[in-house]
Amino acid sequence: MPLVAHTPLPTFDLLKAQGEEILELGQALHQDIRELHIGFLNLMPNASFQATERQFLRLVGSSNQIVQYYIYLFTIDGVERDEKTQNYIDSYYTTFDAVKNSGLDALIITGTNPANPSLEQEPFWDPLGEVIDWATKNVTSVLCSCLAVHAIVKHLHDIERKPLERKRWGVYSHRITHSKHPLLRNINTRFDVPHSRNNDVSPEQLQAAGFKILVQGAESGVHMAVSPDMFKIVYLQGHPEYDRVSLLKEYKREVDRYFRGERDSYPESPENYFSSDIDKIIQGYKPTLIQAREKGEKMPIFPEAEIEPLLDNTWRDTGKSIFDNWLGLVYQLTNIDRHLPFTHGIDPDDPLKIK
Protein backbone atom coordinates (compact mmCIF):
# COMPACT_ATOMS: atom_id res chain seq x y z
CA MET A 1 0.00 0.00 0.00
CA PRO A 2 1.11 3.58 -0.55
CA LEU A 3 2.57 6.34 1.50
CA VAL A 4 -0.03 8.50 3.20
CA ALA A 5 0.20 12.24 2.46
CA HIS A 6 -0.68 13.26 6.01
CA THR A 7 1.32 16.52 5.76
CA PRO A 8 1.78 19.06 2.92
CA LEU A 9 5.31 17.77 2.24
CA PRO A 10 6.19 18.64 -1.41
CA THR A 11 7.88 15.28 -1.89
CA PHE A 12 4.47 13.58 -1.83
CA ASP A 13 3.36 15.63 -4.86
CA LEU A 14 6.67 15.01 -6.64
CA LEU A 15 6.51 11.26 -6.14
CA LYS A 16 2.87 11.21 -7.27
CA ALA A 17 3.84 13.09 -10.45
CA GLN A 18 6.52 10.45 -11.05
CA GLY A 19 3.92 7.68 -10.95
CA GLU A 20 4.22 6.57 -7.33
CA GLU A 21 0.98 5.75 -5.52
CA ILE A 22 0.28 8.32 -2.80
CA LEU A 23 -2.80 8.07 -0.60
CA GLU A 24 -4.48 11.28 0.49
CA LEU A 25 -5.22 11.52 4.21
CA GLY A 26 -9.00 11.57 3.68
CA GLN A 27 -8.81 8.31 1.73
CA ALA A 28 -6.54 6.70 4.31
CA LEU A 29 -8.87 7.49 7.20
CA HIS A 30 -11.72 5.66 5.46
CA GLN A 31 -9.74 2.46 4.93
CA ASP A 32 -9.68 -0.28 7.55
CA ILE A 33 -5.99 -1.04 7.09
CA ARG A 34 -3.24 -1.21 9.69
CA GLU A 35 -0.74 1.64 9.81
CA LEU A 36 3.02 1.72 10.28
CA HIS A 37 4.56 4.92 11.61
CA ILE A 38 8.11 5.41 10.40
CA GLY A 39 10.56 8.11 11.47
CA PHE A 40 13.04 9.57 9.02
CA LEU A 41 16.03 11.36 10.57
CA ASN A 42 17.55 13.34 7.71
CA LEU A 43 21.14 14.37 8.41
CA MET A 44 22.16 14.94 4.81
CA PRO A 45 23.86 18.21 3.80
CA ASN A 46 21.90 20.97 2.10
CA ALA A 47 22.76 20.03 -1.50
CA SER A 48 21.26 16.54 -1.18
CA PHE A 49 18.78 17.05 1.65
CA GLN A 50 15.55 16.91 -0.35
CA ALA A 51 16.86 14.39 -2.89
CA THR A 52 17.71 11.93 -0.11
CA GLU A 53 14.29 12.45 1.46
CA ARG A 54 12.65 11.63 -1.87
CA GLN A 55 14.84 8.56 -2.48
CA PHE A 56 14.10 6.92 0.86
CA LEU A 57 10.39 7.74 0.76
CA ARG A 58 10.19 6.14 -2.67
CA LEU A 59 11.72 2.93 -1.31
CA VAL A 60 9.26 2.86 1.58
CA GLY A 61 6.30 3.58 -0.71
CA SER A 62 7.39 0.82 -3.10
CA SER A 63 6.89 -1.84 -0.45
CA ASN A 64 4.09 -4.29 -1.14
CA GLN A 65 2.90 -4.78 2.44
CA ILE A 66 -0.80 -4.33 3.10
CA VAL A 67 -0.29 -1.31 5.32
CA GLN A 68 -0.47 2.49 5.26
CA TYR A 69 2.86 4.24 5.78
CA TYR A 70 2.94 7.44 7.82
CA ILE A 71 6.36 9.11 7.61
CA TYR A 72 7.58 11.54 10.29
CA LEU A 73 10.53 13.56 9.04
CA PHE A 74 12.84 15.28 11.50
CA THR A 75 16.42 16.41 11.93
CA ILE A 76 18.65 17.36 14.86
CA ASP A 77 20.97 20.17 15.87
CA GLY A 78 24.58 20.09 14.76
CA VAL A 79 24.23 19.95 10.97
CA GLU A 80 24.86 23.31 9.31
CA ARG A 81 21.88 24.54 7.30
CA ASP A 82 21.56 27.30 4.73
CA GLU A 83 18.52 29.57 4.80
CA LYS A 84 16.62 27.69 2.09
CA THR A 85 17.02 24.28 3.75
CA GLN A 86 16.21 25.64 7.20
CA ASN A 87 13.02 27.22 5.87
CA TYR A 88 12.09 23.86 4.34
CA ILE A 89 12.71 22.10 7.66
CA ASP A 90 10.67 24.69 9.55
CA SER A 91 7.79 24.24 7.09
CA TYR A 92 7.61 20.48 6.66
CA TYR A 93 9.61 18.68 9.37
CA THR A 94 8.63 17.79 12.91
CA THR A 95 10.86 17.57 16.00
CA PHE A 96 12.44 14.69 17.85
CA ASP A 97 10.41 15.58 20.95
CA ALA A 98 7.19 15.23 18.94
CA VAL A 99 8.36 11.89 17.56
CA LYS A 100 9.14 10.60 21.05
CA ASN A 101 5.70 11.61 22.29
CA SER A 102 3.82 9.93 19.44
CA GLY A 103 6.02 6.83 19.13
CA LEU A 104 7.35 5.03 16.05
CA ASP A 105 7.32 1.53 14.64
CA ALA A 106 10.58 1.95 12.71
CA LEU A 107 13.24 4.57 12.12
CA ILE A 108 15.51 5.40 9.17
CA ILE A 109 18.68 7.43 9.79
CA THR A 110 20.65 8.88 6.88
CA GLY A 111 24.33 9.67 6.69
CA THR A 112 25.93 13.09 6.40
CA ASN A 113 29.27 14.66 5.50
CA PRO A 114 31.63 14.72 8.50
CA ALA A 115 33.67 17.86 9.09
CA ASN A 116 36.02 16.59 11.83
CA PRO A 117 38.59 13.77 12.14
CA SER A 118 36.61 12.10 14.94
CA LEU A 119 32.85 11.55 15.02
CA GLU A 120 32.77 12.55 18.68
CA GLN A 121 33.92 16.02 17.60
CA GLU A 122 30.94 16.51 15.33
CA PRO A 123 28.32 19.00 16.62
CA PHE A 124 25.59 16.44 15.92
CA TRP A 125 27.25 13.69 18.02
CA ASP A 126 25.36 14.19 21.30
CA PRO A 127 21.93 14.83 19.70
CA LEU A 128 22.37 11.75 17.51
CA GLY A 129 23.33 9.68 20.55
CA GLU A 130 20.11 10.74 22.24
CA VAL A 131 18.08 9.55 19.25
CA ILE A 132 19.96 6.23 19.13
CA ASP A 133 19.49 5.55 22.83
CA TRP A 134 15.76 6.27 22.61
CA ALA A 135 15.25 4.27 19.42
CA THR A 136 16.98 1.11 20.66
CA LYS A 137 14.53 0.99 23.57
CA ASN A 138 11.33 2.15 21.86
CA VAL A 139 11.42 1.28 18.14
CA THR A 140 11.06 -2.16 16.58
CA SER A 141 13.90 -1.68 14.11
CA VAL A 142 16.32 1.07 13.07
CA LEU A 143 17.74 1.15 9.54
CA CYS A 144 20.83 3.34 9.19
CA SER A 145 22.83 4.42 6.17
CA CYS A 146 26.51 5.17 5.51
CA LEU A 147 27.92 7.56 8.15
CA ALA A 148 25.00 6.77 10.46
CA VAL A 149 26.35 3.20 10.51
CA HIS A 150 29.74 4.43 11.68
CA ALA A 151 28.21 6.69 14.31
CA ILE A 152 25.91 4.03 15.77
CA VAL A 153 28.52 1.26 15.99
CA LYS A 154 30.85 3.74 17.68
CA HIS A 155 28.17 4.94 20.10
CA LEU A 156 26.84 1.49 21.04
CA HIS A 157 29.88 -0.78 20.61
CA ASP A 158 32.93 1.53 20.59
CA ILE A 159 33.84 0.30 17.10
CA GLU A 160 36.11 2.87 15.44
CA ARG A 161 35.76 3.38 11.70
CA LYS A 162 39.01 3.40 9.71
CA PRO A 163 40.01 5.82 6.93
CA LEU A 164 40.29 4.28 3.47
CA GLU A 165 43.41 4.79 1.37
CA ARG A 166 41.19 6.18 -1.37
CA LYS A 167 37.52 7.05 -1.55
CA ARG A 168 35.24 4.06 -2.11
CA TRP A 169 33.12 5.58 -4.81
CA GLY A 170 31.13 3.84 -7.50
CA VAL A 171 28.86 0.85 -8.14
CA TYR A 172 30.09 -2.49 -6.81
CA SER A 173 29.03 -6.11 -7.05
CA HIS A 174 27.96 -7.84 -3.82
CA ARG A 175 27.06 -11.34 -2.69
CA ILE A 176 24.72 -12.58 0.01
CA THR A 177 26.66 -14.17 2.86
CA HIS A 178 23.74 -15.27 5.07
CA SER A 179 20.95 -16.44 2.78
CA LYS A 180 18.65 -17.64 5.60
CA HIS A 181 18.01 -14.21 7.06
CA PRO A 182 14.42 -13.06 6.25
CA LEU A 183 15.70 -9.62 5.19
CA LEU A 184 17.16 -11.37 2.14
CA ARG A 185 14.10 -13.38 1.15
CA ASN A 186 13.75 -13.58 -2.66
CA ILE A 187 16.88 -11.45 -3.22
CA ASN A 188 19.38 -12.22 -5.99
CA THR A 189 22.51 -13.90 -4.66
CA ARG A 190 24.63 -11.31 -6.47
CA PHE A 191 23.66 -7.66 -7.05
CA ASP A 192 25.03 -4.13 -7.36
CA VAL A 193 25.02 -1.36 -4.76
CA PRO A 194 26.47 2.19 -4.99
CA HIS A 195 28.97 3.33 -2.34
CA SER A 196 30.38 6.76 -1.58
CA ARG A 197 32.55 7.06 1.52
CA ASN A 198 36.04 7.79 2.79
CA ASN A 199 35.88 5.49 5.84
CA ASP A 200 35.05 1.88 6.52
CA VAL A 201 33.91 -0.50 9.22
CA SER A 202 35.43 -3.87 8.36
CA PRO A 203 33.84 -7.32 8.57
CA GLU A 204 36.39 -8.28 11.22
CA GLN A 205 35.34 -5.37 13.44
CA LEU A 206 31.65 -6.22 13.12
CA GLN A 207 32.07 -9.94 13.62
CA ALA A 208 34.16 -9.39 16.74
CA ALA A 209 31.23 -7.46 18.22
CA GLY A 210 28.74 -10.21 17.38
CA PHE A 211 27.19 -8.64 14.27
CA LYS A 212 25.92 -10.86 11.48
CA ILE A 213 27.11 -9.83 8.02
CA LEU A 214 24.42 -10.36 5.39
CA VAL A 215 25.85 -8.80 2.22
CA GLN A 216 29.48 -8.15 1.29
CA GLY A 217 31.51 -7.17 -1.79
CA ALA A 218 35.09 -8.04 -2.73
CA GLU A 219 35.83 -4.40 -3.64
CA SER A 220 33.34 -2.57 -1.43
CA GLY A 221 33.51 -4.48 1.86
CA VAL A 222 30.43 -4.89 4.05
CA HIS A 223 27.24 -3.48 2.62
CA MET A 224 24.63 -4.93 4.96
CA ALA A 225 24.85 -6.23 8.52
CA VAL A 226 22.51 -6.63 11.47
CA SER A 227 22.97 -6.21 15.21
CA PRO A 228 23.63 -9.32 17.33
CA ASP A 229 19.88 -9.75 17.94
CA MET A 230 19.51 -10.05 14.12
CA PHE A 231 17.06 -7.18 13.54
CA LYS A 232 16.99 -4.33 16.05
CA ILE A 233 19.48 -2.35 13.95
CA VAL A 234 20.07 -2.86 10.21
CA TYR A 235 23.31 -1.37 8.91
CA LEU A 236 23.78 -0.31 5.27
CA GLN A 237 27.23 1.04 4.34
CA GLY A 238 26.11 1.35 0.72
CA HIS A 239 23.36 3.45 -0.85
CA PRO A 240 20.49 1.39 -2.33
CA GLU A 241 18.37 4.56 -2.24
CA TYR A 242 20.49 6.35 -4.85
CA ASP A 243 18.89 7.52 -8.08
CA ARG A 244 20.45 6.58 -11.40
CA VAL A 245 22.07 10.04 -11.56
CA SER A 246 23.14 10.43 -7.91
CA LEU A 247 26.79 9.52 -8.50
CA LEU A 248 26.85 11.67 -11.64
CA LYS A 249 25.71 14.70 -9.66
CA GLU A 250 28.31 13.97 -6.99
CA TYR A 251 30.96 13.70 -9.69
CA LYS A 252 29.82 17.02 -11.16
CA ARG A 253 30.11 18.65 -7.71
CA GLU A 254 33.69 17.39 -7.45
CA VAL A 255 34.49 18.78 -10.91
CA ASP A 256 33.03 22.13 -9.78
CA ARG A 257 35.21 22.01 -6.64
CA TYR A 258 38.31 21.36 -8.77
CA PHE A 259 37.53 24.28 -11.05
CA ARG A 260 37.06 26.60 -8.06
CA GLY A 261 40.37 25.49 -6.57
CA GLU A 262 38.81 23.62 -3.63
CA ARG A 263 40.63 20.42 -4.61
CA ASP A 264 44.05 20.03 -6.23
CA SER A 265 43.39 17.29 -8.79
CA TYR A 266 40.70 16.58 -11.32
CA PRO A 267 38.40 13.92 -9.77
CA GLU A 268 38.61 10.29 -10.77
CA SER A 269 35.41 8.80 -12.19
CA PRO A 270 33.20 6.66 -9.92
CA GLU A 271 34.21 3.03 -10.36
CA ASN A 272 32.06 0.67 -12.46
CA TYR A 273 29.54 3.44 -13.17
CA PHE A 274 30.49 5.21 -16.40
CA SER A 275 30.34 3.21 -19.63
CA SER A 276 33.04 3.46 -22.30
CA ASP A 277 30.85 5.93 -24.21
CA ILE A 278 30.59 8.14 -21.12
CA ASP A 279 34.34 7.89 -20.55
CA LYS A 280 34.88 9.28 -24.05
CA ILE A 281 32.65 12.26 -23.25
CA ILE A 282 34.51 12.87 -19.96
CA GLN A 283 37.92 12.61 -21.61
CA GLY A 284 36.82 15.14 -24.22
CA TYR A 285 35.55 17.55 -21.56
CA LYS A 286 38.45 17.27 -19.09
CA PRO A 287 41.19 19.09 -21.07
CA THR A 288 38.75 21.86 -22.01
CA LEU A 289 37.93 22.47 -18.35
CA ILE A 290 41.57 22.30 -17.25
CA GLN A 291 42.54 24.81 -19.91
CA ALA A 292 39.75 27.17 -18.86
CA ARG A 293 40.83 26.86 -15.22
CA GLU A 294 44.44 27.68 -16.04
CA LYS A 295 43.46 30.71 -18.12
CA GLY A 296 40.96 32.02 -15.57
CA GLU A 297 38.09 31.66 -18.02
CA LYS A 298 34.48 30.73 -17.34
CA MET A 299 33.82 27.07 -16.54
CA PRO A 300 32.68 25.11 -19.62
CA ILE A 301 29.20 23.62 -19.36
CA PHE A 302 29.42 20.14 -17.87
CA PRO A 303 28.05 17.56 -20.38
CA GLU A 304 25.42 16.24 -17.97
CA ALA A 305 22.68 16.19 -20.62
CA GLU A 306 24.84 13.96 -22.86
CA ILE A 307 25.84 11.59 -20.07
CA GLU A 308 22.55 11.07 -18.25
CA PRO A 309 20.75 9.00 -20.96
CA LEU A 310 23.72 6.61 -21.05
CA LEU A 311 23.59 5.74 -17.33
CA ASP A 312 22.13 2.51 -15.96
CA ASN A 313 20.53 1.73 -12.63
CA THR A 314 21.51 -1.82 -11.62
CA TRP A 315 20.51 -1.68 -7.94
CA ARG A 316 16.99 -0.26 -7.65
CA ASP A 317 14.99 -3.53 -7.72
CA THR A 318 17.17 -5.17 -5.07
CA GLY A 319 16.94 -2.08 -2.86
CA LYS A 320 13.14 -2.19 -3.12
CA SER A 321 13.09 -5.88 -2.19
CA ILE A 322 15.26 -5.35 0.89
CA PHE A 323 13.04 -2.49 2.09
CA ASP A 324 9.99 -4.62 1.38
CA ASN A 325 11.40 -7.42 3.53
CA TRP A 326 12.44 -4.99 6.27
CA LEU A 327 9.02 -3.36 6.50
CA GLY A 328 7.34 -6.75 6.35
CA LEU A 329 9.33 -7.85 9.41
CA VAL A 330 8.55 -4.58 11.18
CA TYR A 331 4.88 -5.28 10.45
CA GLN A 332 5.14 -8.77 11.99
CA LEU A 333 7.25 -7.85 14.99
CA THR A 334 6.04 -4.44 16.08
CA ASN A 335 3.61 -3.93 18.91
CA ILE A 336 0.44 -2.29 17.59
CA ASP A 337 0.52 0.03 20.61
CA ARG A 338 3.74 1.98 19.97
CA HIS A 339 3.89 3.07 23.60
CA LEU A 340 4.44 -0.52 24.72
CA PRO A 341 7.98 -1.94 24.69
CA PHE A 342 9.29 -4.18 21.94
CA THR A 343 8.80 -7.71 23.29
CA HIS A 344 9.74 -10.16 20.55
CA GLY A 345 12.01 -10.51 17.55
CA ILE A 346 14.09 -12.84 15.39
CA ASP A 347 15.73 -15.86 17.00
CA PRO A 348 19.52 -15.42 16.45
CA ASP A 349 19.95 -19.20 16.37
CA ASP A 350 17.23 -19.63 13.76
CA PRO A 351 16.71 -16.39 11.74
CA LEU A 352 13.62 -17.74 9.99
CA LYS A 353 11.88 -18.13 13.35
CA ILE A 354 9.99 -15.31 15.05
CA LYS A 355 10.30 -15.57 18.81
The predicted structure's pLDDT at residue 5: 85
Residue ranges of the chain with per-residue pLDDT less than 50: none
The predicted structure's pLDDT at residue 338: 66
Domains assigned to the chain: 3-243+313-354 (3.40.50.880), 246-310 (no CATH)
Q: Look up 144 and say whether it is catalytic.
A: no
The predicted structure's pLDDT at residue 117: 85
The predicted structure's pLDDT at residue 66: 77
The predicted structure's pLDDT at residue 67: 86
The predicted structure's pLDDT at residue 346: 74
Q: Look up 241 and say whether it is catalytic.
A: yes
How many residues in the chain? 355
Query: Among the options 150, 195, 239, 250, which is catalytic?
Result: 239
The predicted structure's pLDDT at residue 327: 94
Query: Among the options 146, 174, 250, 254, which is catalytic?
Result: 146
Q: Are 168 and 196 in contact (CB under 8 A)?
A: yes
Q: Look up 155 and say whether it is catalytic.
A: no
Query: Among the options 6, 150, 223, 241, which is catalytic?
Result: 241
The predicted structure's pLDDT at residue 341: 58
The predicted structure's pLDDT at residue 342: 62
Q: 37-82, pLDDT tens digit by residue?
A: 999 999 999 999 999 999 999 999 988 667 889 999 999 999 999 9
